[in-house]
Amino acid sequence: MSQTSVTGTSGEERDDFSRAESRQIRSRSLRLLGSLLEPLRARLVVGIVVIIVSTAAQVAGPALIAFGIDRGLPSLMKNDWMPLALAGAAYLATGVIGAALVAWFTVLSARISQAVLLDLRRRVFLQTQRLSLEFHESYTSGRIISRQTSDLDSIRELLDSGINNLVQGALYMVFVGLALLLVDPLSAAVLLVSLVPLAILTRWFQLRSQRVFRQTRTASANVIVKFVETMTGIRAVKAFRTETRNEGDFGELVEDYRQVNARVIRLFGIYNPGLVLIGNVTVAVVLLVGGLRVFEGQLAVGALLAVVLYTRRFFDPMEDMAMFYNSYQSAAAALEKISGVLEEQPSVPDPAAPIDLWTSKGHVRFSDVEFAYAGDRVILPTFDLDIPAGQTVALVGSTGAGKSTLAKLVSRFYDPSTGEVSLDGIDLRSLHPKDLRRAIVMVTQEAYLFSGTVADNIAIGKPDASFDEITAAARAVGAHEFIEGLPNGYETDVNKRGGRVSAGQRQLISFARAFLADPAVLILDEATASLDIPSERLVQNALQTLLADRTAIIIAHRLSTVAIADRVLVMEHGRIVEDGTPADLIAGTGRFAALHASWRESLA
């Protein structure tokens, strides 16, 4: 694809990036993060103000206690309640304000993180739909699914608790440090010294955990892929008794995952007690430095208490911040991969200046078209083909002859490497996608049903269709009868992957879909393979009326389908080797004539 090996999704499985590559990936994720936060600027500002005020309010506590003991007590001895009442009232006020603001901030930050997630979910989903089939065929569904599920989950975790922990923790430490500086600068100096081992420990932890976190993501993805594969192929699993073998394989993947998890946890098992140790030693030193001065009469007792309380509190959020680092690491790895997917350019891009085509006549034309997969061998060598509006063309040839590729060029699942495919004289690449999809519809052999009712599934052809239109479409393709026989008729839920609807019935539903869509050009790629003969006959009859006023390209292995064509194209090794009316070709001595003869034989 591109020269740099880390652009887009390439290099996703590597963990040996060079410095330049790492920088490239990191800046890509940061750009993504920035663009996600951009629209939330106003909320972010409010959030930051709220958190600054609330943290300051929380930090005031020990200073007020010191004030109450050192100033309130002596004043009270002189029957002056004022300083103590002030300290008590201030403590109460900071408590109420602090708590209320923290509660507010909790909701606010949830709003922000949920907005980011929704935006990101939308973007990845949209991008998944936008990327061409070529991408999907090489990237595989399991990976794109884990981008949208487990990777998004780790970003959610970061946003949910991680950011709160970081902002609150960092601010808390800054404020505690400042308060300490105000109460007793010498203790603040001690605290400053303690930052040195703290920084060393944290850096060590960072370096060690970085690689392990990447491994965690890979290991969990492996578990997910195996799991999904087993569940979607459960019939074959059972029929071939692979349960035990699968258990072994899955067990190994789970064990790998467990081990990397354990490694992460072990790192925390060192880091976290290390933090506590540094904190407690610092408390002792502060106590010594302060205690000696109290002993000498240079420091008030209340101030000593405040200093000790502050020092202890200073280290409290460190653990939260380590948690942040935990979620940050996995989220960063996830973000790297997601930003890679988002960076992918669809090989079939939407036009910059789309041309509208309100009503299409259905005139399809290939001019000097050649097709090859990116940098790979040529599938379709240069050819020209003109399909006048209204013509029904049958594509015939053995597997791998290039029939489906040709069909995919017309439906713009792929773009030609050179030359152009046009509809009514407009290059498909500059046609407005909406108009393109309205004008050209392709029905494939694999008739996928989405969860929802049968009616929902037919309505995919025309989302605003009335119920009457839906039943009319079903009737036209002969699907009405079996649908009526389902437990809830058109409102029957088709369940997981149409589990209870037979393959033939699925194809009928997908036919009804295409019928409802009413396109100017209809492409049928082996769309009748699973139908029983009476159904096929119904579809065939329906096709004869359906195709009367539109262009059709039909790929079929069956002679019956070819019979209704105006024109037959025989393909071989990517080339069109015969082109003519069925009658002419049968009368001749070419491949089609031979093929036709063997078909007739097979019908006996």
Partner 1 sequence: MSTPPPPSTLASLGRLYRYAKPAMPRIYVAIVASLLASLVALAIPQVLQWLIDGPLTGTDVSLVWFSVGLVLALGVAEAGLIALRRWLVLTPGTHVEAHMRNSLYRQLQRLPVAFHDRWPSGQLLSRAIGDLNLIRRWMAFGFVILIVNSLTLVIGFVILVSLNWILGMIFVVASVPVLIYGYAFEKRYSRAARRGQDQQGDLATAVEESVHGIRVLKAFGRGSHALKRFETQAEELQGTELEKARAVAGIWLWLLLVPDVAFAVALVVGVWLAQSGSSSVGELVAFFATGTVLLFPIQSMGYFLAMTIDAKTATNRFFEVMDEVNTIVDPISPKTIEKPQGRLVFSDAHFRYQDSPSRFPDLLDGIDLVIEPGETMALVGLTGSGKTTLTALPTRLYDVTGGSVSLDGVDVRDLALDELRAHIAMAFEDATLFSATVRENVLLGRPDATEADLEEALDIAQAQFAFDLPNGLDTRVGEEGLSLSGGQRQRLALARAVAARPSVLVLDDPLSALDVTTEQLVEAALRRVLASTTALIVAHRPSTVSLADRVALMQDGRITAVGTHSELIASNAHYRFVISSLDNQTQAQPAHTENVS
Burial label, 368 (beta-carbon count in 10 A; 0-12, 13-18, 19+) = exposed
Burial label, 162 (beta-carbon count in 10 A; 0-12, 13-18, 19+) = buried
* x/- map, 471-510, partner 1, by CB under 8 A: -----------x--x-x-------xxx-xx-xxxx--x-x
Q: Is 361 in the site for partner 1 (CB under 8 A)?
A: no
Q: Is 378 in the site for partner 1 (CB under 8 A)?
A: no
Q: How many helices (H) and strands (E) does the chain have?
A: 22, 10
Stretch 117-146 residues interacting with partner 1 (CB under 8 A): 117-118, 121-122, 125-126, 128-130, 133, 136-138, 140-142, 144-145
Q: If we measure between CA atoms, which residue out of 185, 165, 163 comes closest to residue 310? A: 185
Given 43, 437, 567, 575, the residue binding partner 1 (CB under 8 A): 437
Stretch 44-103 residues interacting with partner 1 (CB under 8 A): 58, 61-62, 64-65, 68-69, 72-73, 76-77, 84-85, 87-89, 91-92, 94-96, 98-100, 102-103
Q: Is 39 in the site for partner 1 (CB under 8 A)?
A: no
Number of residues that this document lists for the chain:
604
Find out whether 430 and 422 touch, Cβ atoms under 8 Å. no
What span, in angstroms and rounded, lies between the C-alpha atoms of 405 and 594? 24
Q: If we measure between CA atoms, which residue out of 516, 535, 514, 538 comes closest to residue 524? A: 514
Given 455, 529, 554, 570, the residue binding partner 1 (CB under 8 A): 529
Given 433, 489, 580, 590, the residue binding partner 1 (CB under 8 A): 433
> Minimum distance from CB of 332 to partner 1 (Å)?
18
Query: What region, left, alpha or beta, does residue 478 occupy, with left being phi > 0 and alpha being psi -120 to 50 degrees?
Result: left
> Measured at the alpha carbon of residue 162, what is the angle toward residues 156 and 167, in degrees to the nearest 5?
130
Stretch 545-584 residues interacting with partner 1 (CB under 8 A): 557-560, 563
Given 30, 182, 292, 548, the residue binding partner 1 (CB under 8 A): 292
What span, in angstroms and rounded, lies between the C-alpha atoms of 295 and 303? 13
Q: Please state whether beta strands 418-423 and 575-580 pair in parallel, antiparallel, or not at all (unpaired).
A: unpaired
* Residue closer to partner 1, measured from CB, 56 or 224: 224
Given 11, 197, 233, 388, the residue binding partner 1 (CB under 8 A): 233
* Residue closer to partner 1, measured from CB, 10 or 230: 230
Choices 174-182, 204-212, 252-260, 386-394 (CB under 8 A): range interacting with partner 1 = 252-260
Q: Is 186 in the site for partner 1 (CB under 8 A)?
A: no
Stretch 308-327 residues interacting with partner 1 (CB under 8 A): 308-309, 312-313, 316
Q: Is 247 in the site for partner 1 (CB under 8 A)?
A: yes
In DSSP terms, which residues pair with 555 in a beta bridge? 395, 525
Q: Is 183 in the site for partner 1 (CB under 8 A)?
A: no
Q: If we measure between CA atoms, which residue out of 275, 278, 279, 282 comes closest to residue 205? A: 275
> Minimum distance from CB of 57 to partner 1 (Å)?
9
Q: Is 394 in the site for partner 1 (CB under 8 A)?
A: no
Burial label, 102 (beta-carbon count in 10 A; 0-12, 13-18, 19+) = middle
